[in-house]
Amino acid sequence: MENIPYKIYLSESEIPKQWYNVRADMKNKPAPLLNPETLKPMTLEELSGVFCTELAAQELNDTDPYIDIPDEIRDFYKMYRPAPLVRAYCLEKYLDTPAKIYYKFEGNNTSGSHKLNSAIAQAYYAKKQGLKGVTTETGAGQWGTALSMACAYLGLDCKVFMVKCSYEQKPFRREVMRTYGADVTPSPSETTEVGRKILAKHPDTSGSLGCAISEAVEAAVKSERYRYVLGSVLSQVLLHQSIIGLEAKTALDKYGVKPDMIIGCAGGGSNLGGLISPFMGEKLRGEKDYEFVAVEPASCPSFTRGKYAYDFCDTGMVCPLAKMYTLGSGFIPSASHAGGLRYHGMSSVLSQLYDDGLMTARSVTQTEVFEAARQFARIEGILPAPESSHAIRVAIDEAVKCKETGEEKTILFGLTGTGYFDMVAYQRFNDGQMGDYIPTDEDLKAGFEGLPNTNFDRVIEK
């Protein structure tokens, strides 16, 4: 074996001091968020009603390539970062492949995923602005947990609207958040106007992410001292998550390794965008070439079967409009255990890069994903989150192809987190009771019909 260790840990001083903003190097900038009433690009002032001012500025900043990471955030990062870059020697040996496989592992923290990287940043700016707290929604619970941890550390209030069925079915995630002091409310709830409206209409509803977003936004905007925060999709989130790719690149550069292919799972795009950003920067600047692969669930295929169009980010239609690959905000993904990937849309940044042909996408079925997850757990020791396992599936498939062709491809993928709170899904798989759900064209058509049909292009200045 080469002189590359199983795990490459950077030193604390090598934790990046700046995030990288890939938008600065994009020729075709991502389309701006639009005010749903005026259909004009959201201004800093408008965004500041919902987000902290500094985060609103980051959301709009598509020119500065580097943005300083405040020392206070770096101190928090030091508690769980640098995250290891792992050489999957055992998996390579097991697959008997000439491919070299690396993964950036973001699961070594209590939130169990990369979400903490942006949670601490968003909480920090809220604290700095003198706010009392933040509001958010959570589905699978990884984002809510991460935000609870960040808020506990900074002494901020944290109000989480948790989709009611998750609240009931994932009581342990809920308890982690409560242990960190968060106020967790099952959504829809009686605490907001939108919640009360929905409950009056559908008293037995088990809730949805779209409804929880609307409640969290309402709870934020009705108080001067709260703002709303979000764990994915937004460009500010991709900015914070660039730390994943920056650390990975530094670690690979140390050993003179250049990945040929970089693979990440894609729901709203926070992990994938963060992982690929610095590599994509090199590609955009014409310095190096890489193959980027987004892996999404076949049950929610926004890249591979969606449309590139302006759409609502939430089902309540209170948030700004974003141009993105989307299945329509009315599209209800069928039950899937990778809750973190069940989003109808996709980051505007990644959508533009995909539309420009700078990256590719594949969709995989749930059972294929869990087969890869179980294999990976047994060989590499880490029990992966269902979301992360989408990337594992494609990494294994590529490594097997290399065995056939003899190609010594270097593969890097993002292992976003652990599956410790996903054992109901593993149980279904272990019991042979897991099915696959692939929407028909008819299913998708219904979602597309819900797309706003205004001609938005007239308002976009490029």
Rounded to a whole number of angstroms, the minimum distance from the CB of residue 144 to a copy of itself is 14
Please give the DSSP secondary-structure letter assigned to residue 335.
P
Nearer to a copy of itself, 292 or 421 (CB): 421
Rounded to a whole number of angstroms, the minimum distance from the CB of residue 111 to a copy of itself is 9
Nearer to a copy of itself, 40 or 78 (CB): 78
Rounded to a whole number of angstroms, the minimum distance from the CB of residue 179 to a copy of itself is 5
From CA 363, how far away is CA 368, in angstroms rounded?
11
Q: What is the DSSP string of 3-41?
A: S--SEE---GGGS-SEEE-GGGG-SSPPPPPB-TTT-SB
Nearer to a copy of itself, 203 or 381 (CB): 381
How many other C-beta atoms can be found within 10 angstroms of the C-beta atom of residue 6? 12
Helix locations, 186-234, DSSP H: 193-201, 209-221
346 closest CA partner among 291, 395, 305: 305
Rounded to a whole number of angstroms, the minimum distance from the CB of residue 151 to a copy of itself is 9
Task: Kindly state the tokens that stand for 20.
Answer: 């990288």
From CA 189, how far away is CA 211, in angstroms rounded?
10
Nearer to a copy of itself, 49 or 171 (CB): 171
Binding site for a copy of itself (CB under 8 A): 5-7, 9, 11-12, 78-80, 90, 108-110, 112, 149, 152-153, 171-172, 175-176, 178-181, 374, 377-383, 418, 420-421, 423-424, 426-427, 430
124 closest CA partner among 215, 58, 60, 46: 58
Rounded to a whole number of angstroms, the minimum distance from the CB of residue 399 to a copy of itself is 18
Nearer to a copy of itself, 43 or 110 (CB): 110
What does residue 321 show for φ and ψ, rounded to 5 degrees? -85, 140
Rounded to a whole number of angstroms, the minimum distance from the CB of residue 299 to a copy of itself is 22
Nearer to a copy of itself, 325 or 426 (CB): 426
157 closest CA partner among 113, 90, 216: 216
